[in-house]
Amino acid sequence: MNDSDKLIEREVSSEEVFKGELLHVFADKARLPNGNISTREWIKHPGASAVLPVFENGEVMLVKQFRYPLRQIFFEVPAGKLDEGETPESTARRELKEEAGISTDSMHYLGPFYPSIGYTDEVIHLYTAWNLTSFDQKVDEDEFLLKHRISFREAVEMVHRGDISDGKTMVTILQAWHWWQEDGPFSV
């Protein structure tokens, strides 16, 4: 028997307790490894994509956005939820166009990021992009953003100083920085 098998919890029942436009909340009963039954409350999320655009001069594009739950403004990479039938890469491309006013023909998948494993199944697919073409933003009517270009190095430093504190943005910047140092198509 695999050692990890001693950790698996099995669903006994599942009840949807809230269904919103974005999130669905469930209260499940799960059988624990020791045989006991416990409640597991969790949120079903459609998934998302995030992308860090890198310009040939070594700058990156972030957006500043007010986030209602925390009532504050954050620096973020362009990102958004997957629409039904959309692939993670097509979502990243769509969000790059909408939020940053940028299109690209070159993207690299950095991997998945699980922002809150204790209470949601959300996965955010992380990308970096180059060979960028800029045009006007076309944000959703209920979305308000400001574009912010800075050097890639400054973005990394902002993560380390705590000036960038959004989880998906921190991970995307740091993973992209590492990839660019090893395999990026041009130096930053």
Closest by CA position to 158, among listed 31, 66, 64: 64
CA atoms of 164 and 87, how far apart (whole Å): 27
What Cα–Cα distance (Å) separates residue 87 from each residue in 39, 68, 78, 92? 32, 27, 16, 9
Q: Is 141 a catalytic residue?
A: yes
Alpha-carbon torsion (77, 96, 135, 130), positive or negative:
positive
Q: 12 with 27: CB under 8 angstroms? A: no
Choosing from 56, 84, 89, 141, the catalytic residue is 141
List the alpha helices (DSSP H) in the chain.
Answer: 88-95, 152-161, 167-183
- Structure-token pair, residue 32: 């624990």
> Which residues are annotated as catalytic?
141
